[in-house]
Structure 1
Amino acid sequence: MGDRDDRTPSTSRREPPVTMRGIRTRAALVAAARVVFERDGYLDARLTDITKEAACAAGTFYTYFSSKEEIFAAVLHEAQQDMMHPGMGRVSGTDDPYAVLEASNRAYLTAYRRNAKLMGLMEQVAHIDPEFQRFRNARAEAFVARNARGIAELQERSIVDPEIDPMMASRALSGMVSRMAYAVFVSGEGTADGSEYDFEELVFVLTRLWANALRFPDRG
Protein backbone atom coordinates (compact mmCIF):
# COMPACT_ATOMS: atom_id res chain seq x y z
CA MET A 1 0.00 0.00 0.00
CA GLY A 2 1.19 3.54 -0.64
CA ASP A 3 1.89 6.32 1.79
CA ARG A 4 1.02 9.96 2.13
CA ASP A 5 1.69 12.84 4.48
CA ASP A 6 1.07 16.53 3.90
CA ARG A 7 3.89 17.69 6.17
CA THR A 8 7.14 18.82 4.59
CA PRO A 9 10.19 20.32 6.31
CA SER A 10 11.37 23.89 5.86
CA THR A 11 8.23 24.95 4.02
CA SER A 12 8.13 28.59 3.02
CA ARG A 13 6.66 30.96 5.58
CA ARG A 14 5.86 33.44 2.82
CA GLU A 15 2.31 33.89 1.67
CA PRO A 16 1.71 31.97 -1.56
CA PRO A 17 1.65 34.12 -4.70
CA VAL A 18 -1.77 35.43 -5.65
CA THR A 19 -1.12 36.66 -9.20
CA MET A 20 -1.02 34.31 -12.15
CA ARG A 21 2.49 35.54 -12.95
CA GLY A 22 3.66 34.82 -9.41
CA ILE A 23 2.07 31.36 -9.43
CA ARG A 24 3.72 30.55 -12.76
CA THR A 25 7.11 31.82 -11.60
CA ARG A 26 7.04 29.82 -8.39
CA ALA A 27 5.94 26.70 -10.26
CA ALA A 28 8.75 27.22 -12.78
CA LEU A 29 11.29 27.45 -9.97
CA VAL A 30 10.03 24.25 -8.35
CA ALA A 31 10.04 22.40 -11.68
CA ALA A 32 13.54 23.70 -12.43
CA ALA A 33 14.75 22.70 -8.98
CA ARG A 34 13.53 19.16 -9.52
CA VAL A 35 15.50 18.97 -12.78
CA VAL A 36 18.65 20.26 -11.10
CA PHE A 37 18.34 18.10 -7.98
CA GLU A 38 17.75 14.96 -10.03
CA ARG A 39 20.61 15.82 -12.39
CA ASP A 40 23.24 17.06 -9.94
CA GLY A 41 22.16 15.64 -6.59
CA TYR A 42 21.23 17.63 -3.52
CA LEU A 43 24.71 18.60 -2.31
CA ASP A 44 25.98 19.73 -5.71
CA ALA A 45 22.82 21.57 -6.76
CA ARG A 46 23.31 25.35 -6.90
CA LEU A 47 20.68 28.05 -6.70
CA THR A 48 22.15 29.76 -9.75
CA ASP A 49 21.61 26.56 -11.74
CA ILE A 50 17.99 26.46 -10.59
CA THR A 51 17.29 30.05 -11.63
CA LYS A 52 19.07 29.46 -14.93
CA GLU A 53 16.94 26.37 -15.57
CA ALA A 54 13.83 28.38 -14.70
CA ALA A 55 14.95 31.22 -17.00
CA CYS A 56 14.55 33.85 -14.30
CA ALA A 57 16.82 36.32 -12.54
CA ALA A 58 18.81 35.07 -9.56
CA GLY A 59 17.14 37.60 -7.28
CA THR A 60 13.71 36.29 -8.20
CA PHE A 61 14.43 33.11 -6.27
CA TYR A 62 14.34 34.93 -2.95
CA THR A 63 10.89 36.30 -3.64
CA TYR A 64 9.56 32.77 -3.18
CA PHE A 65 12.20 30.78 -1.24
CA SER A 66 14.92 31.55 1.26
CA SER A 67 17.26 28.60 0.73
CA LYS A 68 18.08 25.39 -1.09
CA GLU A 69 16.52 23.43 1.77
CA GLU A 70 13.26 25.30 1.37
CA ILE A 71 12.92 24.71 -2.34
CA PHE A 72 13.91 21.06 -1.93
CA ALA A 73 11.04 20.76 0.56
CA ALA A 74 8.75 22.29 -2.04
CA VAL A 75 9.93 19.75 -4.62
CA LEU A 76 9.25 16.93 -2.17
CA HIS A 77 5.80 18.34 -1.51
CA GLU A 78 5.04 18.27 -5.24
CA ALA A 79 6.19 14.64 -5.37
CA GLN A 80 3.98 13.79 -2.41
CA GLN A 81 0.93 15.16 -4.18
CA ASP A 82 1.78 12.98 -7.16
CA MET A 83 2.03 9.91 -4.94
CA MET A 84 -1.36 10.33 -3.29
CA HIS A 85 -3.79 7.60 -4.39
CA PRO A 86 -6.72 5.54 -3.08
CA GLY A 87 -5.82 3.13 -0.30
CA MET A 88 -7.42 0.45 1.85
CA GLY A 89 -9.27 3.10 3.80
CA ARG A 90 -11.56 3.60 0.82
CA VAL A 91 -12.85 0.02 0.83
CA SER A 92 -16.63 -0.10 1.18
CA GLY A 93 -19.07 -2.95 1.70
CA THR A 94 -19.58 -3.42 -2.03
CA ASP A 95 -15.90 -3.29 -3.05
CA ASP A 96 -13.63 -6.25 -3.69
CA PRO A 97 -10.90 -5.64 -1.07
CA TYR A 98 -8.32 -7.67 -2.97
CA ALA A 99 -8.91 -5.59 -6.12
CA VAL A 100 -8.60 -2.38 -4.09
CA LEU A 101 -5.37 -3.62 -2.52
CA GLU A 102 -3.96 -4.56 -5.92
CA ALA A 103 -4.95 -1.21 -7.45
CA SER A 104 -3.44 0.67 -4.52
CA ASN A 105 -0.15 -1.21 -4.75
CA ARG A 106 0.00 -0.65 -8.50
CA ALA A 107 -0.66 3.10 -8.07
CA TYR A 108 1.96 3.38 -5.35
CA LEU A 109 4.61 1.49 -7.31
CA THR A 110 3.86 3.49 -10.46
CA ALA A 111 4.21 6.77 -8.57
CA TYR A 112 7.34 5.55 -6.78
CA ARG A 113 8.96 4.62 -10.09
CA ARG A 114 8.07 8.06 -11.47
CA ASN A 115 9.61 9.78 -8.42
CA ALA A 116 12.43 7.32 -7.79
CA LYS A 117 15.27 9.82 -8.10
CA LEU A 118 13.64 12.10 -5.56
CA MET A 119 12.98 9.21 -3.21
CA GLY A 120 16.65 8.33 -3.38
CA LEU A 121 17.66 11.94 -2.73
CA MET A 122 15.30 12.17 0.22
CA GLU A 123 16.98 9.15 1.79
CA GLN A 124 20.40 10.70 1.28
CA VAL A 125 19.43 14.11 2.66
CA ALA A 126 17.69 12.50 5.65
CA HIS A 127 21.06 11.10 6.73
CA ILE A 128 22.63 14.56 6.94
CA ASP A 129 19.71 16.82 7.87
CA PRO A 130 17.69 16.05 11.03
CA GLU A 131 14.70 18.02 9.76
CA PHE A 132 14.41 15.88 6.65
CA GLN A 133 15.00 12.80 8.83
CA ARG A 134 11.95 13.79 10.87
CA PHE A 135 9.97 14.35 7.70
CA ARG A 136 10.90 10.94 6.33
CA ASN A 137 9.93 9.27 9.60
CA ALA A 138 6.64 11.16 9.80
CA ARG A 139 5.88 10.21 6.21
CA ALA A 140 6.50 6.55 6.96
CA GLU A 141 4.42 6.67 10.14
CA ALA A 142 1.50 8.27 8.29
CA PHE A 143 1.75 5.45 5.75
CA VAL A 144 1.70 2.82 8.50
CA ALA A 145 -1.16 4.44 10.42
CA ARG A 146 -3.35 4.75 7.36
CA ASN A 147 -2.85 1.14 6.35
CA ALA A 148 -3.45 0.01 9.95
CA ARG A 149 -6.84 1.73 9.82
CA GLY A 150 -7.58 -0.14 6.60
CA ILE A 151 -6.63 -3.48 8.14
CA ALA A 152 -8.78 -2.77 11.20
CA GLU A 153 -11.73 -1.96 8.93
CA LEU A 154 -11.32 -5.26 7.09
CA GLN A 155 -11.20 -7.06 10.44
CA GLU A 156 -14.46 -5.39 11.47
CA ARG A 157 -15.99 -6.70 8.24
CA SER A 158 -14.69 -10.22 9.02
CA ILE A 159 -12.64 -10.29 5.81
CA VAL A 160 -9.12 -10.75 7.23
CA ASP A 161 -7.51 -12.46 10.23
CA PRO A 162 -9.09 -10.91 13.35
CA GLU A 163 -6.29 -12.01 15.70
CA ILE A 164 -3.39 -9.97 14.36
CA ASP A 165 -2.58 -6.50 15.64
CA PRO A 166 -3.42 -4.01 12.83
CA MET A 167 -0.57 -1.61 13.60
CA MET A 168 2.08 -4.32 13.83
CA ALA A 169 0.82 -5.98 10.67
CA SER A 170 0.76 -2.66 8.84
CA ARG A 171 4.29 -1.80 9.94
CA ALA A 172 5.60 -5.13 8.63
CA LEU A 173 3.66 -5.16 5.36
CA SER A 174 4.04 -1.46 4.59
CA GLY A 175 7.77 -1.77 5.16
CA MET A 176 7.90 -4.72 2.78
CA VAL A 177 6.32 -2.75 -0.06
CA SER A 178 8.29 0.46 0.45
CA ARG A 179 11.60 -1.39 0.89
CA MET A 180 10.99 -3.39 -2.27
CA ALA A 181 10.10 -0.22 -4.19
CA TYR A 182 13.34 1.39 -3.04
CA ALA A 183 15.37 -1.69 -3.94
CA VAL A 184 13.92 -1.98 -7.43
CA PHE A 185 13.49 1.64 -8.49
CA VAL A 186 16.27 3.43 -6.58
CA SER A 187 18.99 0.86 -5.93
CA GLY A 188 18.33 -0.97 -9.21
CA GLU A 189 18.37 -4.41 -7.63
CA GLY A 190 17.30 -7.10 -10.07
CA THR A 191 16.26 -10.72 -10.11
CA ALA A 192 18.57 -13.64 -9.34
CA ASP A 193 19.80 -13.73 -12.94
CA GLY A 194 20.44 -9.98 -12.97
CA SER A 195 17.46 -9.03 -15.12
CA GLU A 196 14.96 -6.31 -14.23
CA TYR A 197 11.77 -7.15 -12.39
CA ASP A 198 8.63 -7.31 -14.48
CA PHE A 199 6.40 -4.54 -13.15
CA GLU A 200 3.14 -6.53 -13.22
CA GLU A 201 4.86 -9.46 -11.53
CA LEU A 202 6.09 -7.09 -8.85
CA VAL A 203 2.53 -5.85 -8.26
CA PHE A 204 1.22 -9.41 -8.20
CA VAL A 205 3.80 -10.77 -5.75
CA LEU A 206 3.58 -7.89 -3.27
CA THR A 207 -0.22 -7.93 -3.34
CA ARG A 208 -0.36 -11.71 -2.93
CA LEU A 209 2.10 -11.62 0.00
CA TRP A 210 0.08 -8.86 1.67
CA ALA A 211 -3.20 -10.71 1.12
CA ASN A 212 -1.79 -14.06 2.29
CA ALA A 213 -0.36 -12.48 5.44
CA LEU A 214 -3.76 -11.04 6.33
CA ARG A 215 -5.51 -14.27 5.28
CA PHE A 216 -7.74 -12.75 2.64
CA PRO A 217 -10.50 -15.10 1.45
CA ASP A 218 -9.52 -17.56 -1.28
CA ARG A 219 -10.23 -15.91 -4.61
CA GLY A 220 -10.75 -19.26 -6.31
Structure 2
Amino acid sequence: MARRQQPWATRTARDRTDAPARTQLLDAAESVFARRGYGLATIADITAEAELSRASFYVYFASKEEIFRVLAVRVRDAFLAAQEVPGVDLDDAAAVAEASTAAFISAYARHLPLLRLLEQQAQTDDDVRQLWEEIQERPVHRAARYIRRLSADGRLAPVADPLSVARAVGGMSIQFARLVAQRPTEYDAAVRDVTAMYLHLLGTGAAPCEPTGPRST
Protein backbone atom coordinates (compact mmCIF):
# COMPACT_ATOMS: atom_id res chain seq x y z
CA MET A 1 0.00 0.00 0.00
CA ALA A 2 1.38 3.39 -0.95
CA ARG A 3 2.44 5.60 1.90
CA ARG A 4 -0.02 8.38 2.49
CA GLN A 5 1.57 11.79 1.99
CA GLN A 6 1.39 14.17 4.93
CA PRO A 7 -0.90 17.17 4.23
CA TRP A 8 1.86 19.69 4.91
CA ALA A 9 4.14 18.04 2.38
CA THR A 10 1.81 18.98 -0.47
CA ARG A 11 1.86 22.70 0.30
CA THR A 12 3.30 24.99 -2.32
CA ALA A 13 6.11 27.41 -1.51
CA ARG A 14 3.56 30.22 -1.57
CA ASP A 15 1.33 28.39 0.93
CA ARG A 16 4.26 28.00 3.30
CA THR A 17 5.30 31.61 2.90
CA ASP A 18 1.83 32.94 3.67
CA ALA A 19 1.10 30.57 6.58
CA PRO A 20 0.31 32.21 9.94
CA ALA A 21 2.50 29.64 11.71
CA ARG A 22 5.50 30.78 9.68
CA THR A 23 4.91 34.36 10.78
CA GLN A 24 4.59 33.19 14.39
CA LEU A 25 7.93 31.43 14.11
CA LEU A 26 9.62 34.46 12.57
CA ASP A 27 8.25 36.79 15.25
CA ALA A 28 9.32 34.35 17.95
CA ALA A 29 12.77 33.96 16.42
CA GLU A 30 13.30 37.71 16.37
CA SER A 31 12.37 37.91 20.06
CA VAL A 32 14.62 35.00 20.98
CA PHE A 33 17.61 36.26 18.98
CA ALA A 34 17.17 39.72 20.51
CA ARG A 35 17.03 38.28 24.00
CA ARG A 36 19.63 35.50 23.85
CA GLY A 37 21.88 36.48 20.96
CA TYR A 38 22.59 34.34 17.93
CA GLY A 39 24.97 31.82 19.49
CA LEU A 40 22.82 30.90 22.48
CA ALA A 41 19.47 30.87 20.70
CA THR A 42 18.14 27.39 19.83
CA ILE A 43 15.32 26.00 17.74
CA ALA A 44 13.77 24.78 21.00
CA ASP A 45 13.77 28.36 22.30
CA ILE A 46 12.07 29.57 19.12
CA THR A 47 9.36 26.92 19.09
CA ALA A 48 8.68 27.46 22.79
CA GLU A 49 8.33 31.21 22.20
CA ALA A 50 5.99 30.57 19.26
CA GLU A 51 4.08 27.87 21.18
CA LEU A 52 4.52 25.51 18.23
CA SER A 53 6.08 22.09 17.88
CA ARG A 54 9.59 21.39 16.64
CA ALA A 55 8.02 19.53 13.72
CA SER A 56 6.17 22.73 12.77
CA PHE A 57 9.49 24.57 12.64
CA TYR A 58 10.89 22.15 10.07
CA VAL A 59 7.86 22.56 7.84
CA TYR A 60 9.04 26.13 7.16
CA PHE A 61 12.75 26.28 7.97
CA ALA A 62 15.65 23.86 7.67
CA SER A 63 17.78 25.31 10.47
CA LYS A 64 18.44 28.17 12.85
CA GLU A 65 20.72 29.66 10.23
CA GLU A 66 17.94 29.69 7.65
CA ILE A 67 15.35 31.38 9.87
CA PHE A 68 17.94 34.01 10.79
CA ARG A 69 18.56 34.76 7.11
CA VAL A 70 14.83 34.92 6.42
CA LEU A 71 14.55 37.43 9.26
CA ALA A 72 17.30 39.46 7.63
CA VAL A 73 15.32 39.51 4.38
CA ARG A 74 12.20 40.59 6.28
CA VAL A 75 14.07 43.47 7.88
CA ARG A 76 15.50 44.53 4.50
CA ASP A 77 12.02 44.52 3.02
CA ALA A 78 10.70 46.56 5.96
CA PHE A 79 13.15 49.36 5.16
CA LEU A 80 12.32 49.27 1.47
CA ALA A 81 8.62 49.37 2.34
CA ALA A 82 9.28 52.45 4.46
CA GLN A 83 9.89 54.34 1.21
CA GLU A 84 6.66 53.21 -0.45
CA VAL A 85 4.52 55.81 1.44
CA PRO A 86 1.14 54.62 0.06
CA GLY A 87 -1.46 57.33 -0.29
CA VAL A 88 1.14 60.12 -0.40
CA ASP A 89 1.58 62.30 -3.48
CA LEU A 90 5.07 61.39 -4.72
CA ASP A 91 5.50 64.89 -6.15
CA ASP A 92 4.98 66.38 -2.66
CA ALA A 93 8.53 66.21 -1.30
CA ALA A 94 7.54 67.43 2.17
CA ALA A 95 4.84 64.78 2.55
CA VAL A 96 7.12 62.03 1.25
CA ALA A 97 9.95 63.13 3.54
CA GLU A 98 7.71 63.06 6.61
CA ALA A 99 6.03 59.74 5.79
CA SER A 100 9.24 57.93 4.83
CA THR A 101 11.13 59.32 7.83
CA ALA A 102 8.37 58.20 10.19
CA ALA A 103 8.29 54.70 8.68
CA PHE A 104 12.08 54.34 8.67
CA ILE A 105 12.54 55.45 12.29
CA SER A 106 9.72 53.16 13.40
CA ALA A 107 11.15 50.16 11.54
CA TYR A 108 14.71 50.75 12.73
CA ALA A 109 13.71 51.21 16.37
CA ARG A 110 11.54 48.10 16.25
CA HIS A 111 14.23 45.87 14.73
CA LEU A 112 17.26 47.41 16.47
CA PRO A 113 18.31 44.32 18.49
CA LEU A 114 18.17 42.15 15.37
CA LEU A 115 20.03 44.77 13.33
CA ARG A 116 22.88 44.63 15.82
CA LEU A 117 23.02 40.86 15.48
CA LEU A 118 22.93 41.10 11.70
CA GLU A 119 25.90 43.43 11.75
CA GLN A 120 27.82 40.96 13.91
CA GLN A 121 26.90 37.91 11.81
CA ALA A 122 27.80 39.77 8.62
CA GLN A 123 31.43 39.54 9.71
CA THR A 124 31.50 35.75 9.27
CA ASP A 125 28.54 34.81 7.05
CA ASP A 126 28.65 35.82 3.38
CA ASP A 127 24.88 35.50 2.89
CA VAL A 128 24.16 37.67 5.93
CA ARG A 129 26.84 40.13 4.80
CA GLN A 130 25.09 40.58 1.47
CA LEU A 131 21.74 41.16 3.19
CA TRP A 132 23.34 43.58 5.65
CA GLU A 133 24.81 45.58 2.77
CA GLU A 134 21.41 45.67 1.09
CA ILE A 135 19.79 46.91 4.30
CA GLN A 136 22.40 49.66 4.50
CA GLU A 137 22.55 50.65 0.85
CA ARG A 138 19.32 49.94 -1.00
CA PRO A 139 17.15 52.47 0.88
CA VAL A 140 19.87 55.11 0.44
CA HIS A 141 20.17 54.61 -3.31
CA ARG A 142 16.41 54.48 -3.68
CA ALA A 143 16.07 57.81 -1.87
CA ALA A 144 18.85 59.28 -4.02
CA ARG A 145 16.99 58.30 -7.19
CA TYR A 146 13.87 60.01 -5.88
CA ILE A 147 15.80 63.19 -5.09
CA ARG A 148 17.39 63.19 -8.54
CA ARG A 149 14.02 62.83 -10.22
CA LEU A 150 12.46 65.76 -8.39
CA SER A 151 15.63 67.81 -8.88
CA ALA A 152 15.50 67.21 -12.62
CA ASP A 153 11.88 68.40 -12.59
CA GLY A 154 12.93 71.60 -10.82
CA ARG A 155 11.01 70.71 -7.65
CA LEU A 156 14.10 70.46 -5.43
CA ALA A 157 17.43 72.24 -5.07
CA PRO A 158 19.43 69.88 -2.82
CA VAL A 159 22.38 71.38 -0.98
CA ALA A 160 24.64 68.50 -2.07
CA ASP A 161 24.73 65.54 -4.42
CA PRO A 162 21.50 63.49 -4.05
CA LEU A 163 23.40 60.42 -2.88
CA SER A 164 25.20 62.46 -0.21
CA VAL A 165 21.89 63.93 0.95
CA ALA A 166 20.34 60.47 1.11
CA ARG A 167 23.28 59.16 3.15
CA ALA A 168 23.10 62.11 5.54
CA VAL A 169 19.37 61.66 6.08
CA GLY A 170 19.83 57.92 6.56
CA GLY A 171 22.51 58.51 9.17
CA MET A 172 20.36 61.03 11.04
CA SER A 173 17.39 58.69 10.94
CA ILE A 174 19.43 55.84 12.41
CA GLN A 175 20.72 57.98 15.27
CA PHE A 176 17.25 59.22 16.14
CA ALA A 177 15.82 55.69 15.80
CA ARG A 178 18.32 54.49 18.42
CA LEU A 179 17.09 57.23 20.71
CA VAL A 180 13.48 56.23 20.08
CA ALA A 181 14.30 52.59 20.85
CA GLN A 182 15.41 53.73 24.30
CA ARG A 183 12.73 56.39 24.78
CA PRO A 184 9.64 55.70 22.65
CA THR A 185 8.02 58.96 23.76
CA GLU A 186 10.60 60.78 21.61
CA TYR A 187 9.19 59.29 18.40
CA ASP A 188 7.05 62.26 17.32
CA ALA A 189 9.81 64.76 18.06
CA ALA A 190 12.36 62.60 16.24
CA VAL A 191 10.20 62.39 13.12
CA ARG A 192 9.55 66.13 13.21
CA ASP A 193 13.20 67.09 13.62
CA VAL A 194 14.64 64.65 11.07
CA THR A 195 11.96 65.71 8.57
CA ALA A 196 12.86 69.38 9.09
CA MET A 197 16.55 68.66 8.48
CA TYR A 198 15.72 66.47 5.49
CA LEU A 199 13.68 69.26 3.89
CA HIS A 200 16.51 71.72 4.51
CA LEU A 201 18.96 69.41 2.74
CA LEU A 202 16.50 69.02 -0.12
CA GLY A 203 16.32 72.79 -0.54
CA THR A 204 12.52 72.85 -0.50
CA GLY A 205 12.27 76.19 1.26
CA ALA A 206 9.79 74.65 3.70
CA ALA A 207 9.29 76.48 6.97
CA PRO A 208 10.89 74.91 10.07
CA CYS A 209 8.59 72.65 12.07
CA GLU A 210 7.22 74.06 15.30
CA PRO A 211 8.22 72.16 18.46
CA THR A 212 5.20 70.14 19.56
CA GLY A 213 6.43 66.82 20.95
CA PRO A 214 8.38 65.83 24.03
CA ARG A 215 12.01 66.86 24.19
CA SER A 216 14.98 65.07 25.69
CA THR A 217 16.68 66.70 28.62
In the superposition, the TM-score normalised over structure 2's length comes to 0.73
**How far off its partner does 1:35 sit?**
2.5
Cα separation, 2, equivalents of 1:46 and 1:28: 16
Summarize the alignment of residues 83-98 of structure 1 with structure 2, pairs less than 5 Å apart: 83=79, 84-87=81-84, 91-93=89-91, 95=92, 97-98=93-94
In structure 2, the partner of 1:207 is 195
Q: In 2 relative to 1, CA 171–81 (structure 1 residues): closer, same or farther, beyond 3 Å? A: closer
Cα separation, 1, equivalents of 2:105 and 2:111: 10
In structure 2, the partner of 1:18 is 15
In the superposition, the TM-score normalised over structure 1's length comes to 0.72
Q: Which amino acid aligns with 1:199?
A: Y
Q: Which has the larger radius of gyration?
A: 2
Q: How many residues align?
A: 196
In structure 2, the partner of 1:3 is none
Q: In 2 relative to 1, CA 57–201 (structure 1 residues): closer, same or farther, beyond 3 Å? A: closer
Are 1:39 and 2:39 matched, yes or no? no
In structure 1, the partner of 2:179 is 184
Bigger share in helix: 2
Partner SS state of residue 19, structure 2: helix
Q: Structure 2: which 5+ runs fail to align?
A: 1-10, 209-217
Partner SS state of residue 18, structure 1: helix
Cα separation, 2, equivalents of 1:25 and 1:184: 32
**Identity across matched positions, percent:** 31
Are 1:165 and 2:164 matched, yes or no? no
**How far off its partner does 1:46 sit?**
0.8
Bigger RCO of structures 1 and 2 (CA < 8 A, at least 6 apart):
1
**How far off its partner does 1:82 sit?**
4.4
Calculate the aligned-residue CA RMSD, in Å: 3.2
Q: Which moved more, 1:61-70 or 1:138-147?
A: 61-70
**How far off its partner does 1:87 sit?**
4.9
Kept in 2: contact 1:85–1:107 (CA 8 A): yes
Q: Structure 1: which 5+ runs fail to align?
A: 1-13, 191-195
In structure 2, the partner of 1:217 is 205
Kept in 2: contact 1:102–1:207 (CA 8 A): yes
**How far off its partner does 1:17 sit?**
6.0
